[in-house]
Amino acid sequence: MATAGKVIKCKAAVCWAPKRPLSIEEIEVAPPKAHEVRIKIVATGVCRSDDHVINGAVAEIKFPVILGHEGTGIVESVGEGVTDLKPGDKVIPLFIPQCGKCRCCENPDSNLCYKNDIGKYNGVLLDNTTRFTCKGKPIHNFICTSTFTEYTVVPDIAVAKIDKDAPLDKVCLIGCAFGTGYGSAVNVAKVKPGSSCVVFGLGGVGLSVIIGCKVAGASKIIAVDINSDKFAKAKEFGATECINPKDYDRPIHEVLAEKTDGGVDYAFEVIGNTGIMTSALLSSHFGCGKAVIVGVASSGATMTFDPLLLLTGRVLTGALYGGWKTKDDVPKLVSDYMNKKFDFDGLITHRLPLEKINEAFELLRRGESIRTVLSL
Ligand code: COD
Ligand code: ZN
Ligand code: ZN
């Protein structure tokens, strides 16, 4: 490519400081260094976790930063030592890398590669520098991805090469919402055929949990949200019943226990609320239920519960990004989508150009969108 080895000037949405709208700027993107990849972003979803940074809820984040972690793109150029990716490849950037060498990568039951930047939020690539500048200032990266820009640079261990025929304006959702929710059901909970499930929170991630429960063959899928406007979509994706806790004057786990012969087999918390995490645990059957935490609670929040709840046989678990080994599993998820094992197109409720990114966040905050996909 004519741009390889050169600095690229392009458009990006920069988050200069918390509690301010993102601003569309011209930025410079330096060429990739060793074991890095420069990607032309094609599409990116707008996720609740980006919004948490914008509204100031993530104290550790360093500004300015380019957010976005649910995208697709095409490799523009690669740095020295990159062997598995080449210009022209279709890719999904991975917010959890897979180095293949650390203790978590070597353990088949973990996907939390040590090279991830979640929670630490150093905002730099693996050599502790960034490839973005704007108005003479360095701009931080976001969790190995930064997709709210026409070009990004990420480590090669944080890039999955996908099917050359994949529709990039749709499979971007595999990079966060769909991958997280679907994996939480099929991979973390390992939902069994004929089982009963409850899903608390019907955003893009919660609806994807429902898709996973359905693919796994659950016979009862109860969807719970305080916003009843979400119920139509939940039913479309496979919920067999929808409940609004506001319609009841007693704890929701009691309502659920009555409907499911003493409690569900699998309960999913997909909101990030510690009170609801406890509700999920209480909703699961005393002797054989499993509660799965999918949502991230605000920093410092804690859960308290009677240990007897676990002693009788319940399991409490959780995982980031549906437990998938990212570099290995993301290409398989794209193939499964192409082979119509599942369909998540209905999660995309809005499409906007990058310039209207603040409007996309407003739609999410008002609960009007499930996912807005931005085109670049
Ligand atoms: N009871 C019932 N429903 C509720 C309640 C409540 N008390 N409070 C909110 N809700 C509903 C809302 O009405 C909404 O429909 C839904 O819960 C939440 O949906 P969204 O659209 O805000 O969020 P999602 O689905 O896009 O994501 C939610 C997560 C909490 C899963 C997400 O923010 C998260 O924590 N992701 C997992 C962690 C992770 O992998 N992070 C890295 C990249 S995201
Ligand atoms: Zn996300
Ligand atoms: Zn690793």
Distance of CA 173 from the midpoint of ligand 2 (Å): 9
Segment-wise mean pLDDT, segments of 10 residues, the chain, 376 residues: 93 98 98 98 97 94 98 98 98 98 98 96 97 98 98 98 98 98 98 98 97 98 97 98 98 97 98 97 98 92 94 97 98 98 98 98 96 97
Question: In this structure, are residues 157 and 113 in contact, taking their beta carbons and an 8 Å threshold?
Answer: yes
Q: Are strands 90-93 and 159-161 parallel, antiparallel or unpaired?
A: antiparallel
Whether 271 lines ligand 1, by a CB cut-off of 6 Å, is yes
Whether 296 lines ligand 1, by a CB cut-off of 6 Å, is yes
pTM of the model: 0.97
Q: Which of 52, 110, 134, 288 is catalytic?
A: 52
Whether 177 lines ligand 1, by a CB cut-off of 6 Å, is yes
- Clarify whether 146 is annotated catalytic: no
- Written as six digits, the tokens of 274 are 């510690």
Ligand 1 pocket test, pick from 44, 49, 248 with the greatest ligand atom count within 8 Å of Cβ, gives 49
| pLDDT number for residue 300 | 86
Q: Which of 15, 49, 113, 146 is catalytic?
A: 49
- Clarify whether 113 is annotated catalytic: no
Rounded to whole angstroms, the Cα distance separating 20 from 148 reads 16
Task: List, in order, residues 6 or more apart from 43 with CB less than 8 Å away.
Answer: 71, 72, 168, 169, 172, 373, 374, 375, 376
| pLDDT number for residue 298 | 84
